[in-house]
Amino acid sequence: MAINLDDPKKFRPLVGQAHQVAMNMLRPISRKYDRAEHEYPKELDMLAAMIDGLSESGASEGAGAAGVRRDEGDQDTSVKNGANLASVMSIAEMCWGDVGLLLSMPRQGLGNSAIASVANEEQHERFDGVWAGMAITEPGVGSDSANIKTTATLDGDHYVLNGEKIFVTSGDRADAIVVWATLDKDLGRAAIKSFVVAKGTPGMRVERLEHKLGIRASDTATIIFDNCRVPAENLLGSAEVDPKQGFAGAMATFDNTRPLVAAMAVGCARAALDLTRDLLAQAGVTVDYDRPALTQSAAAAKLLQMEADWEAAHLLTLQAAWMADNRQPNSLEASMAKAKAGRVGSDITLSCVELASSVGYSEAELLEKWGRDSKILDIFEGTQQIQQLIVARRILGLSSAELR
C-alpha cells in the first residue's frame, strides 16, 4: 500500500485559512494578551463565530473539536482522512500563531473533545454548542489519573460531586466543565466517570486563577466542588462500572486529545524554526541541505538536527490522528506523538532562543514567548514520563500493575 506524505488535498484550504488566521489575527495580539494575563481576548469571539459557521455549513471538516469514536457497528473499511487529521493540521497552524490564544478559543476546549469521544447521541445533541473545559488534575494526584479522589455519589436523579480540581484550562470562561470523578474509590480505575457540570451550578466555585510561565492568554483555574449536585443524565456515556473495561472509557478522551496537544507543540516549534532560519540567514549563516551537517557551521548543523526532530514529531502526530479517523486503536501512537512532540517542541523553542542570542532572549521577537509557551505542552495531558511509561506498557504488553 502506497503512503502519501503530502497534505490531503481536501484539507489544504482549511490549513491555508488557519495559517492566515494565525498570521493576521493571532500574531498581532500575541504579546498583548501575554502581558494582560487573565484578560479575555475579545477578538476571539469573531473568530469563533467564523469557525462555528464553517462547521455548521460542512465547508470545513475538522474546524471544531473532534473525538475518537470506534462504534462496533461501523463497517466502513475505506481509508479516511477525516476530522481528527484535519483538526491536528489546523491546530498546528493556529499554534504557529499563538498557543495560549488557541487554548482560549470558545467552544474548542479539551472538554469538547471529551464530549465528542465519550458522550452518547442524546448528549451530543444536548451539549452541542457548549464550550467545555476539562477538570482532571487534583492536588497530590499528579499524572496518575487513576488515583482521582473527587467523588460522585448517586442521590436520586442527581450525582453529588465533592473534591478539588487544579490547572483547569478555561475553567473560569467555559460554559461547562467536564469533571472526572470516581463512583467508588474501592473499585479503582473502572469507577472513574466524567460529568458535564454547567457553569453556575450551586456547589461549584472557581477558587483562583493561576499565574503561569506561559500560555498566559489562557485562563487556568482551581475549582472546588462542595456537594455539587449534577443531573444524572450529565454523566457522559454509560454509568455502568465494568471492571473488564477498566479505564478505557475515560482514556478514550486522551486518545484524541494527546495528538491535539502534540499538534500544538508541532505548530509552536515550527514558528520558532521559521523565524530562526530567517534570523540565521540575515546573519549570513547558510544552511545547505545537500551537505552533511558535520561539514557545516555549528549553527547550521543545529538547525538541521532540530528540523529532523520536528519532522519526526510531525509525522507521528499525523499518524495518531489518521488512525483515529480510521477507527484503529491509537493509544500507543497517541502517546508516542505526545511524548516526541512535547519534548522536541520545548527543546526546539529553547534552542532557537540560544541560536538567536540576545534577539532570542529579548521581547523584540516572540522567540522567548514561544519558549515559555511550549513547556506546558510537554506536561499537560500526561507528562513526558507518563507517556514513555504508557509506550513501554503497550510495547511490552504489560499492565499498569506490572509496570509502574
What's the CATH code of the domain at 16?
1.10.540
Q: Which residues pair with 221 in a beta bridge?
A: 168, 209
Residue 185: what pLDDT? 87
Stretch 88-93: mean pLDDT? 96
- Domain identity same for 188 and 109: no
Residue 69 pLDDT more than 60?
Answer: no
pLDDT category at 186 given cuts 50, 70, 90 is confident
Whether residue 43 lies in the annotated active site: no
Residue 212: what pLDDT? 97
Coil/strand/helix, residue 199: coil
- Domain identity same for 275 and 218: no
Residue 347 pLDDT more than 90?
Answer: yes
Stretch 130-157: mean pLDDT? 90
Q: Give residue 215's region: left, alpha or beta (phi > 0; psi -120 to 50).
A: left
Last residue of a domain, which of 126, 152, 169? 126
Instruction: For strands 158-169 and 151-155, give the pairing.
Output: antiparallel
Number of domains in the chain: 3
Residue 243 pLDDT more than 80?
Answer: no
The reply to whether 337 falls in a domain is: yes
Stretch 8-16: mean pLDDT? 92
pLDDT category at 72 given cuts 50, 70, 90 is very low
Read off the CATH number of the domain in which 363 is found: 1.20.140.10
Residue 3: what pLDDT? 61
Domain with 257, as residue range(s), is: 248-396
- Domain identity same for 337 and 379: yes
Residue 1 pLDDT more than 60?
Answer: no
Closest alpha carbon to 228 in 250, 264, 199, 208: 199
The reply to whether 56 falls in a domain is: yes
pTM score of the predicted model: 0.93
Distance between CA atoms of residues 381 and 238, nearest Å: 23
In percent, how much of the chain has pLDDT > 70? 91
Last residue of a domain, which of 106, 126, 146? 126
Residue 64: what pLDDT? 44
- Domain identity same for 76 and 136: no
| 153 Cβ contact partners less than 8 Å away, ≥ 6 residues apart | 159, 160, 162, 183
- Domain identity same for 190 and 209: yes
Instruction: For strands 176-182 and 132-135, give the pairing.
Output: parallel
Distances (CA, A) of 400 to 181, 204, 247: 20, 32, 11
Residue 249: what pLDDT? 58
Residue 146: what pLDDT? 74
- Domain identity same for 31 and 46: yes
| 263 Cβ contact partners less than 8 Å away, ≥ 6 residues apart | 87, 88, 89, 91, 92, 95, 317, 321, 341
- Domain identity same for 280 and 389: yes
Stretch 319-323: mean pLDDT? 94
Residue 116 pLDDT more than 70?
Answer: yes
Cβ 180 vs Cβ 192: under 8 Å: yes
Residues in the chain: 404
Read off the CATH number of the domain in which 185 is found: 2.40.110.10
Closest alpha carbon to 12 in 65, 63, 86, 83: 86
Q: Which of 61, 93, 365, 381 is catalytic?
A: 381
Distances (CA, A) of 312 to 7, 60, 260: 15, 27, 16
